[in-house]
Amino acid sequence: MKKLFFVGTFIFALIITACQNENSVNPRPTDQIVSTVNIKGRVKAELNTTNAVLENAPAGLKIVAEVNTRDLVLNPTGGNYPTKYFEATVDANGEYTIGVDVGPYGNNVKLYFPDFRADVATGAATVSTLFTGSTRTVSVVKGQDKILDFNY
């Protein structure tokens, strides 16, 4: 009888320790950890030197956003986390909207504004000019869209 009791207790202990709670492996669904926010803005450049305002950048410019996927993990550990890229195109009004992933604690996003060449009206002549872009970093937080304008 004692042997049967010990064997039963041993089997019961194995069953209890072998069970794994789903919440201990993945405490929250991924859609609650990672969400998407929009970064939007207007891109302008000096395309006409005869007036005092900046004009809209040409339509079709590609703006690229870079997110480190380490920022998207709830509890990151050692190892390599790949970089994730998102892309948007500037429309005829000089506006862009780019949706990026944001992690549970927020994260930084690098925005790359490209170089482009355009004709600039200078009054008597038109001059082909190279506009040099640059990189901007913006912090995003879950549930809050960001506005980031860029002037060449």
126, 63 contact by CB (below 8 A):
no
Residue range 35-42: mean pLDDT, rounded: 94
Residue 50 pLDDT exceeds 90: no
Q: How confident is the model over 138-152, as pLDDT tens digits?
A: 999 988 999 999 999
Cα 68 from Cα 81, distance rounded (Å): 7
Q: How confident is the model over 62-86, as pLDDT tens digits?
A: 999 999 988 888 777 778 888 999 9
Q: Domains in the chain, ordered, with CATH?
A: 29-151 (2.60.40)
pTM listed for this prediction: 0.71
For residue 23, the model assigns a pLDDT of 43
Element (H, E) at 110: strand 107-112
- The mean pLDDT value of the chain amounts to 83
118: which 2 tokens?
């355009």
Q: Which of 31-45, 82-96, 108-122 is the least confident region? A: 31-45
Residue range 29-45: mean pLDDT, rounded: 82
For 24, other C-beta atoms within 10 Å of its C-beta total 7
137: which 2 tokens?
């970093």
Element (H, E) at 129: strand 126-131
For residue 146, the model assigns a pLDDT of 93
Q: Which band of pLDDT confidence, cut at 50, 70 and 90, is reported for residue 52?
A: confident
